[in-house]
Amino acid sequence: MFPGVYGFTWEPGNLIFLGIFYSVVAIILGTMGIVLVRSLKDFQSQKADQIRWKLDFEDLPEGNRTCRHELTGEFRHRTCERGFDCRECPDHAKLVASKIRTIHPGYETGDEEGCILGFDMPLERQYHRGHTWVMTEPDGTTTVGLDDFGSRLIGEPDEVRLPAAGTSLHLNGTAWHFKKNGSDLRILSPVDGEVIQTGGKKAGWYLKLKPLGKKMDTRHLLRGAEIRPWLAREMERLEFSLAADGVGMSLADGGALVEDLSKEYPSLDWDAVWGQMFLEP
């Protein structure tokens, strides 16, 4: 095996064989070394949440990755490739610049006052695809909460695990956790920010954040006219998700969702439905 070990000779066969063997070992060890170094680097720079979202996003079925510009009808078909982060998306920037985006009230005839498709979705709030809302307060802080759609899906959670004040949140990282029926639900953070205060279901909001940089960047959040088509699509997604479990109900015609959907259909695989709807497949 090595020069000096009994039986080692400098004949070509020996050298070729051992040369190949050592190369293979070197490649395997080298690759593992690279993997370890990269992992350590990313782990130390706290990229775990980003990576988790990247992997989760790739795992989402294509229908769940629809671009917001498809929702509004600007594209016939377009799938998001950047994990719902429009901030760096050149197409999004172009579309916003080229058109004066009509931020007309999302209400249409038939909607009750302040309701879109039967959900209480105030238009002064901006929405994240993971069913959280964001509102910038006059004092420069940002309030984050679970939107009406999301809270009806979950109903009364068994446990809420909120981050401590001072925690830095990153877009599409973990904002907080719910526990319900033994399922652990991760709610995605809609923005980058530092937690300054925590609320709860009763308070009507969950987190108060201050921007990590100078200003809170909310370009990627849905707003105004986008809310209605998005909600319609979410209803479809939910129906689809429930249908997979054999519940062939039509949620859209029946008006609003009940307050606690999971209570209504306890036999369903809610863990899977929540995973689908809160973008954690």
Partner 1 sequence: MDKQLIIRGLRRSPLSKFLLWILPWVALLGLGLYAGYLCLARGLNQTNMDNRFAFGLWIYLDLTIIALGAGAFFTGFLLYILKKDQLKAVINSAVVLGLICYSGAIVVLMVDVGQPLRAWFTFWHPNVHSMLTEVTFCITCYLTVLLVEYAPLVLRNRKLRQIPSLLVFEFHLHKVMYVLAGVGTFLSFFHQGSLGGLYGVLRGRPFAFREGIGIWPSTFFLFILSAIAAGPSFILLTTWLVSKLSKKELVKREVLSLLGRISGILLMVYVLFKTIDTLIWINHTAPASGFNPFDFYSWEPFGTWLLFAEIVVCGLLPAIILLDKKRREQTGWLVSAAFLVCVGVMLNRFVFTIQTLALPTLPFDRFLSYVPSWQETATFLAVVAYGVLIYSLSFRYLPLFPQEKELRQS
Query: Does residue 47 bind partner 1 (CB under 8 A)?
Result: yes
Task: Decide if residue 247 touches partner 1 (CB under 8 A).
Answer: no
Smallest gap from Cβ 176 to partner 1, in A, equals 15
- The least distance separating partner 1 from the CB of residue 52, rounded to whole angstroms, comes to 6
Q: What is the smallest separation between the CB atom of 279 and partner 1, expressed in angstroms? A: 12
Chain residues 49-108 in contact with partner 1, contact rule CB under 8 A: 49, 51-52, 54-55, 61
271: contact with partner 1 by CB under 8 A = yes
Is residue 249 a contact point for partner 1 (CB under 8 A)?
no
Beta carbon of residue 159, minimum distance to partner 1 (angstroms, whole number): 15
Q: What is the DSSP string of the chain?
A: --TTSTT----HHHHHHHHHHHHHHHHHHHHHHHHHHHHHHHHHTT-HHHHHHHHHHHHS-GGGGB-HHHHTTSSSS-B-SSTT-GGG-HHHHHHHHHS------S--TTPPTTEETTEE--TTSEEETTTEEEEE-TTS-EEEEE-HHHHHHH-S-SEEEPPPTT-EE-TTSEEEEEEETTEEEEEEPSS-EEEEEEEETTTTEEEEEE-SSSS---TTSB-GGGHHHHHHHHHHHHHHHHHTTT----TTTT-SPPS-HHHH-TTS-HHHHHHHHTT--
- Options 126, 142, 198, 241; binder of partner 1; rule CB under 8 A: 241
Residues that bind partner 1 (CB under 8 A): 1, 5-8, 13-14, 17-18, 21, 24-25, 27-28, 31-32, 34-36, 38-39, 42-43, 47-49, 51-52, 54-55, 61, 182, 184, 240-241, 243-244, 269, 271-272, 275-276, 280-281
